[in-house]
C-alpha cells in the first residue's frame, strides 16, 4: 500500500482556474515537501514544511500556496492557472527536515493546463 497518497493522479484544468493537489502521508514523518517536474527540466524543489511550519520556499509565485491542515497533510493550492504550470507535482516526506534525511516520494499528480 502506498504510504504517501497524492490525489488526483491526473488533473486537467483550464487557464485561470484554481486547483488543489492533495498529499497525505502515513509514515509518521514530520517533514513534507513539494517538487515539480516539467518537461525537459530537472525535478525542482518548491516548498518544505516541518511540524506544519514553512521552512523553505523556492517558488517565486504567490499563486502556489501550501496548506497543512493536519500534521500528515500538505496540500498545494494553485490559483490563476497558466499553461506553463503544466507539470507533474510530487509530494515527499522525511522523518525530520535536514540534510541527513532521505525523503520518500509520492506517485505524483500530473497537471495539464489548457
Q: Which of 21, 31 has the CB closer to other proteins?
A: 31
> Stretches 14-22, 65-73, 76-84, 104-112: which one binds other proteins (CB under 8 A)?
104-112
Q: Which of 62, 100 has the CB closer to other proteins?
A: 100
Shortest Å distance, C-beta 80 to other proteins? 25
Query: Cβ distance 90 to 103 under 8 Å?
Result: no
Shortest Å distance, C-beta 7 to other proteins? 14
Query: Cβ distance 50 to 31 under 8 Å?
Result: yes
Sites for other proteins among residues 1-30 (CB under 8 A) = none
Is the Cα dihedral 56, 86, 65, 72 positive or negative?
Answer: negative
Strand-pair category, 75-78 with 19-25: antiparallel
Q: Which of 86, 101 has the CB closer to other proteins?
A: 101
Find residue 76's DSSP bridge partners: 21, 66
Query: Cβ distance 6 to 109 under 8 Å?
Result: yes
Binding residues for other proteins, rule: CB under 8 A, are 31, 33, 35, 37, 41-45, 48, 50, 55-56, 58, 88, 90, 94, 96-108, 110
Amino acid at each position: 500500500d502506498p504510504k504517501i497518497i497524492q490525489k488526483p493522479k491526473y488533473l486537467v484544468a483550464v487557464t485561470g482556474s484554481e486547483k488543489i493537489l492533495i498529499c497525505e502521508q502515513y509514515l509518521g514523518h514530520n517533514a513534507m515537501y513539494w517538487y515539480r517536474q516539467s518537461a525537459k527540466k530537472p525535478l525542482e524543489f518548491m516548498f518544505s514544511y516541518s511540524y506544519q511550519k514553512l521552512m523553505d520556499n523556492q517558488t517565486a509565485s504567490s499563486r502556489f500556496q501550501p496548506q497543512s491542515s493536519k500534521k500528515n497533510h500538505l496540500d498545494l493550492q494553485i490559483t490563476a492557472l497558466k499553461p506553463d504550470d503544466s507539470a507533474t507535482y510530487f509530494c515527499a516526506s522525511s522523518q525530520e527536515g535536514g540534510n541527513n534525511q532521505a525523503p520518500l516520494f509520492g506517485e505524483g499528480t500530473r497537471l495539464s493546463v489548457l
